[in-house]
């Protein structure tokens, strides 16, 4: 695997890690928190749409759709499923029908922004996440589900 593709896979794994931290132990009521624009369930549905789009771009059949949010647990499962599918395509060695830089600057970077939104909304909704030192986090390419390694240096 070339270095750019490997770096994109690591970035997707870092996104999964950060998303898992932003979502873990979030109450069902957080999904519909209405304190700052779009609700968390809408943001997470959009993030799933971003990776459906990323897969379609990678396969050379670009298409975009807007999903209605599922229930909170279902939307979390959908997001990680789309992330796994995108990572699996990257790992497959199949040709990418778009430059890696554009895959990063479009769907991946957008999703990173939305993970930060979710973390901020958790604090506004009075159910904050536990911060941590992400520099020392155990992040491994291919580990892109909700089940992530424990925090190495949480901020308590």
* Consecutive 10-residue averages of pLDDT for the chain (156 residues): 95 98 96 93 98 98 97 98 98 96 98 98 95 96 96 90
CA distances in angstroms from 30 to 26, 80, 106, 135, 137, listed in the order given = 6, 18, 27, 27, 26
Distances (CA, A) of 9 to 2, 17, 133: 11, 12, 21
């Amino acid at each position: 695997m070339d270095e750019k593709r490997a770096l994109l896979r690591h970035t997707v794994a870092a996104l999964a890690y950060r998303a898992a931290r932003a979502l873990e132990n979030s109450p069902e009521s957080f999904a519909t928190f209405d304190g700052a624009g779009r609700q968390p369930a809408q943001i997470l549905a959009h993030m799933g749409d971003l990776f459906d789009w990323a897969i379609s771009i990678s396969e050379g059949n670009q298409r975009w759709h807007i999903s209605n949010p599922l229930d909170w647990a279902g939307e979390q499962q959908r997001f990680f499923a789309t992330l796994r599918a995108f990572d699996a395509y990257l790992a497959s060695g199949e040709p990418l029908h778009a430059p890696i830089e554009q895959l990063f600057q479009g769907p991946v970077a957008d999703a990173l922004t939305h993970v930060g939104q979710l973390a901020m909304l958790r604090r506004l909704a009075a159910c904050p996440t536990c911060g941590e030192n992400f520099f020392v986090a155990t992040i491994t390419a291919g580990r892109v589900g909700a089940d992530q390694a424990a925090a190495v240096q949480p901020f308590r």
